[in-house]
């Protein structure tokens, strides 16, 4: 059971780090402001959510895990909204 | 084993935080800088959670991470509204 937990946690955290690094490279490499918005809104949100999900799998069922779920829900809602507001202001 | 893994994970997260500083230094417009700073803040949330795991005081550090997420969101929204109003006044 604990092997399964550790393996799932390692998988999710590694996937989150991969997506975060890809989003960072996208912020540098894309040529336009709107394509940079695309990189930071979708890829970064997925990366952070996978990372925190892997962390909450590592913690198991506890109060800290509930707090991590709250943070995940807030980031899913807030991060694309902030990028959308910036893109709308730039247009 | 998991401690070593999370140590390496924090190193890679810090690396992915370091990359957008280039855009915030060189960005052609103000919006590029604001966008890269918002991306840095979003990744810092993950790094704060790892710091709490490392210091074994995760409950306190998770509250800090939630507050950081809310402040990051408010920063992006307020700056977007301010810049929008500024550009509207310029075109008038």
B69, containing H or E segment: helix B58-91
Q: How far is CA A59 from CA A24, A28, B44, B53, in A?
A: 27, 34, 20, 10
B30-55 vs A2-29: helix crossing angle, rounded to 10:
160
Q: Least CB-CB distance to B32: which of A33, A48, A64? A: A33
Nearest chain B CA: its distance from A65 CA (Å) = 10
* Sign of the dihedral defined by the CA atoms of residues B58, B60, B64, B70, in that order: positive
* A76 at interface of B, judged by CB pairs closer than 8 A: no
Q: Model ipTM?
A: 0.87
* C-alpha distance from B13 to closest chain A C-alpha (Å): 6
pLDDT band at residue B44, thresholds of 50, 70 and 90?
very high
Reported as a pLDDT band with limits 50, 70 and 90, residue B2 is confident
Kindly report the nearest CA distance between residue A78 and chain B, in angstroms: 6
User: What DSSP element (H or E) covers A22?
Assistant: helix A2-29
Q: Does A37 touch chain B (CB under 8 A)?
A: yes
8 Å CB contact between B16 and B22: no
How many CB atoms lie under 10 A from the CB of residue A50? 22
| Position B88 confidence tier, pLDDT thresholds 50, 70, 90 | confident
- Which residues does chain A have within 8 Å of residue B53's beta carbon, measured at their own beta carbons? 55
Q: What is the pLDDT of residue B92?
A: 61
Residues in chain B closer than 8 A to A47 (CB atoms): 43
Is residue A86 within 8 angstroms of chain B, CB to CB? yes
């Amino acid at each position: 059971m604990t092997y399964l937990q550790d393996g799932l946690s390692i998988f999710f955290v590694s996937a989150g780090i991969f997506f975060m690094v890809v989003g960072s490279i996208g912020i540098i490499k894309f040529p336009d402001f709107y394509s940079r918005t695309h990189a930071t809104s979708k890829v970064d949100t997925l990366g952070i959510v996978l990372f925190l999900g892997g962390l909450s799998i590592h913690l198991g069922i506890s109060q800290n895990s509930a707090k991590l779920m709250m943070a995940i829900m807030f980031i899913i809602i807030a991060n694309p909204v902030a990028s959308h507001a910036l893109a709308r202001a730039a247009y | 084993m998991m401690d070593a893994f999370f140590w390496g994970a924090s190193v890679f997260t810090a690396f992915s935080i370091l990359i957008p500083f280039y855009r915030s230094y060189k960005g052609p417009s103000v919006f590029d800088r604001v966008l890269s700073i918002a991306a840095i803040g979003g990744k810092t949330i993950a790094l704060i959670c790892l710091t709490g795991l490392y210091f074994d005081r995760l409950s306190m550090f998770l509250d800090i991470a939630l507050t950081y997420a809310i402040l990051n969101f408010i920063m992006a929204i307020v700056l977007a509204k301010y810049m929008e109003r500024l550009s509207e006044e310029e075109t008038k």
